[in-house]
Amino acid sequence: MTTPHHHWTLDVHPSELRVLTNGYQSWSEAELRPLTETQTRASLEWMIDQGQDPAFPPSGEAGVWRSHSLLALIRPGGGGWVGAQLDAAHTFAHWEVRAAGEQVLVTCTLEGPDVAVAWEETSNVIGTVERLSAQLGQSMHARTPAPLRVWCSWYSYYRSVTLDNMLDNARLAKQHGLPFDVFQLDDGFQADLGDWTEPSEQFGGHAKDLPAELRKLGFRAGLWLAPFLVGPNSKLFAAHPDWLLKNRSGTPLLFGHNWGGQYAALDTTHPEVLVWLRELAATCRAWGYDYLKVDFLYAASHPGVRHDPSVSRAEAYRRGIQALREGLGDDGFLLGCGAPLSASIGVMDAMRTGPDVAPYWDDEARRMLLGDGSVPCSRNALHTALSRWYQQTWYQPDPDVMIARRERSLLSDDERGALLGMLDVIGGLRASSDPVEMLDEAGLSLLRQSLEISTPDRPLTLTESHGGAVTHFSRGTFNLQETPADRVQPHSYRPNPT
């Protein structure tokens, strides 16, 4: 494996520049920040595992910013520099920019086979970011099917979802004429991570019994899987220890922290694992699911010892998702989540481009005190999804759900408006998790509004920001901060007068 290294020295004072970064996977922070500030490194190892790239996490030094696949530096007039890898199927590109006295140093290190890297000085950073990202999308044969409108069980029922919850909501949605295309069952139906074909106790049925009922109501059936994860107490873990990603001493690597503890990952350089993944996706398809939300995908590219050590992390990941695509079929809809972003182009139909929305604005303790910018909350979802507007040429963006309900939600009207504004500006998939019975007339009307497909908007400027992200779009302005800015209230979106 080669590691070519590109570097550039810029004769510009660091205090003049802003930096636009792209985090590693769906939930990793993407930001627009003054170069002299500090990129936050999560303080706990499992948070780095789950929200950053463990092989290339933020350094935590002032004036040093790390970015994946592409990077932009913005001068006060809107010009600057843009760097981007031009192929991402087998190689991760690690960008670093460093304030060094009166100069700025930029490096790009490739992890994997050599690929072309663009570095351009430009008078219009927005246009150049869009052009280079579109070029990357084209060269990797990006799939951008029509966006779908999805009801997803996660953000109301979480892991306690039942078969009846799904059917009750689908029936009510039909009664109200809500324009959903897909009803998608999320985490909670399965016995364990890896044991996908066995039901959990609380689900009250089997996932295979749902699609036919949904189809009778006029909906397509969608299913969530974390296909590369293996629970340490699962049957899969006990049956196939040889299929797992290892640490240097040869024992299965346990990392991250969710479902009450750590988890293991499948080694997608092992040929038997690829067969198993293909069969898993084909089984779901045979059950009647033609929409799969495949989650926690960074597990396939987690650093570790693999069956075939000559395979790059990006390539290992790509083999895993290609096996899923083959099992699902070319006409199935594949939504990635928690996924290395540019390495997914051409395989995924849609991609989560930010952290989870939650029925509250912020999780300050985890974000501020523990440095975890990928923790679920509406503020983090907006911050990162808005700063990735240009990724619409890689797949359909999924900026996550609207939360229209007032019951069991701490969001204010302004905060709901900010979610609605984000969906309109970013475009792509539309989704809701609200129990339909919880919605009054106002809630139903807000939900209908949020399900209207939009054409993505473009930023107006990258030289200003209300909160460390891309916040100024041609249709309106977001304020992610705690105080009013330019007549935009805190936590809100203000459409421009038309």
User: How many of the chain's residues bind ligand 9PG (CB under 6 A)?
Assistant: 14
Decide if 170 contacts 182 (C-beta within 8 A): no
Q: Which is nearer to ligand 9PG, 237 or 298 (by Cβ)?
A: 298
Closest distance of CB 162 from ligand 9PG, Å: 16
Footprint of ligand 9PG on 335-364 (CB under 6 A): 337, 356
> Tokens 């809500």 belong to which residue?
178
Q: At what angle do helices 441-450 and 413-426 cross, to 10 degrees?
A: 20
Closest distance of CB 224 from ligand 9PG, Å: 5
Footprint of ligand 9PG on 15-44 (CB under 6 A): 27
Site string (288-327) toward ligand 9PG, x via CB under 6 A: -------x--------------------------------
Nearest to 338 by CA among 293, 399, 296, 394: 296
Please, which residues bridge with residue 120 across strands?
82
- 480 token code pair: 């992610």
Give the one residue of 14, 51, 80, 222 binding ligand 9PG; rule: CB under 6 A: 51
Q: Which is nearer to ligand 9PG, 129 or 337 (by Cβ)?
A: 337
Q: Which is nearer to ligand 9PG, 111 or 186 (by Cβ)?
A: 186
- 437 token code pair: 């019975």
Site string (149-178) toward ligand 9PG, x via CB under 6 A: -----x------------------------
Give the one residue of 187, 267, 363, 434 binding ligand 9PG; rule: CB under 6 A: 187
Q: Does position 224 bind ligand 9PG by CB under 6 A?
A: yes
- Spell out the alpha helix ranges (H) of 189-336: 210-216, 235-239, 271-287, 313-328
Closest distance of CB 142 from ligand 9PG, Å: 22
Q: How many CA atoms lie within 13 Å of 485's alpha carbon, on the beta-carbon side? A: 17
- 171 token code pair: 């029936």
- 300 token code pair: 């396939």
Which DSSP state fits 202?
T
Footprint of ligand 9PG on 364-403 (CB under 6 A): 374-376
- 36 token code pair: 């002299």
- Spell out the alpha helix ranges (H) of 124-209: 125-139, 154-157, 163-175
Query: Residue 157 is which amino acid?
Result: Y
Give the one residue of 53, 181, 186, 424 binding ligand 9PG; rule: CB under 6 A: 186
Where do contacts with ligand 9PG occur on this chain (CB under 6 A)? 27, 50-51, 154, 186-187, 224, 258, 295, 337, 356, 374-376
